[in-house]
Amino acid sequence: MPLDPVDLTAALVRCPSVTPEEGGALRLLEETLAAAGFDCTRVDRNGTPNLFARWGARNARRVFGFNGHTDVVPVGDPTDWTHPPFSAHREEGWLYGRGATDMKSGVAAFVAAAVDLVAEAPPEGAIVITVTGDEEGPGRDGTIAILDWMAETGERMDVCIVGEPTCPEVIGDMIKIGRRGSMTAQFEVTGKQGHSAYLHKALNPMPAVALLAHRLSTHVLDEGTSHFDPSTVSVTTIDTGNTASNVIPARTRMTVNLRFNDLHSGASLTDWLRAEADRVATETGTRIAMTAQVSGEAFLTPPGALSALVSAADEAETGRRPVLSTTGGTSDARFVRAHCPVVEFGLVGHRMHEVDERVREQDIHDLKAIYRRILADYFAG
């Protein structure tokens, strides 16, 4: 009997898997996949829950992979929800609950598609499913840990779909073939505290941080590329903590976030930020310390066989030809791309992380059908 992806989504939503809690979600998937003949291995690292599952031989000629996550963001105030956030309430064709959109429905759809295919038309090849419980968190011991384990044990994927919600309006309207890079930098500007009436005895760090903020936020990094929007720099906070109006503070802190295309790297942008900070420090006489963290480099899977495969299956099932895009934030595709060609394709994402997060049940069925066709066409080819 075919595996119902909506029922599986509901069962996953009932698992309270707020990062870093596993909540029973990976145990449920392991039981489901093992019953269908998948070899399952937990690849937990440093307390982070992860699951690897393979159907078919390790040395198969062709290996198709899916990647996703079952951890979810916090629910906020549960009383703001129309229905309890982990109740998986179903009403008028909608399924409600935290993770219903991002991305337990996507995981349920590709698991159901894979389980049905191996039961009804076993392919000549292998299917690998990787699911982490730490995509919404730091991400250091999630998909990265699975990929590290795969490299150590000789497991592989030849191509991979990350099942994140990618469609802005209706299912099938967009495939992500890459993502901008993301990094955050913190600056601490130090001057000399003093009385605001005696400027000559103090060194105010506030004009320096304002100057640095202006130069960074108004600088044009690039005009974009054929597949990417222009890179951006956003000042996200300036914190001084000064509660006295007649005191010049000793120091202030600023944070900026950058989203960048493939014209740049985290290293090149770090060098640029340090140079700008040093320049302002020299001009103002302050001291500016900087730290930077790169959460992901820009990457692109050029339009080709994988995007064509997904596009054709999508169009066959929905009648829509999807747009190939690199918009949005980051996902675990930034890690998978170092292992094999990867694209992201999933449900409509505009309700993710919201109060009353919900997904159309029919969309889940449609996504399963698209994934099933992708698998069939891949192994047929």
CB atoms within 10 A of CB 362: 12
Residues 256/234, Cβ–Cβ less than 8 Å: yes
Residue tagged active-site, from 22, 30, 71, 317 = 71
Please state, in angstroms and rounded to a whole number, the distance separating the CA atoms of residues 16 and 87.
Answer: 10
Residues 118/366, Cβ–Cβ less than 8 Å: no
344 has catalytic annotation: no
21 has catalytic annotation: no
Cα atoms found within 13 Å of the Cα of residue 335, Cβ hemisphere only? 20
Structure tokens at 134: 């730490």
Written in H, E and C, the secondary structure of the chain is: CCCCHHHHHHHHHCCCCECCCCCCHHHHHHHHHHHCCCEEEECCECCECEEEEEECCCCCCCEEEEEEECCECCCCCHHHCCCCCCCCCEECCEEECCCCCCCHHHHHHHHHHHHHHHHHCCCCCEEEEEEECCCCCCCCCCHHHHHHHHHHHCCCCCEEEECCCCECCCCCCEEECEECEEEEEEEEEECECEECCCHHHCECHHHHHHHHHHHHHHCCCCCCCCCCCCCEEEEEEEECCCCCCCEECCEEEEEEEEEECCCCCHHHHHHHHHHHHHHHHHHHCCEEEEEEEEEECCEECCCCHHHHHHHHHHHHHHCCCCEEECCCCCCCHHHHCCCCCEEECCCECCCCCCCCCEEEHHHHHHHHHHHHHHHHHHHHC
Orientation angle between helical segments 104-120 and 5-13, nearest 10 degrees? 140
Structure tokens at 6: 């909506």
Residue tagged active-site, from 135, 188, 357, 361 = 135
**First-to-last CA distance in the chain?**
26
- Which residues participate in catalysis according to the annotation? 71, 135
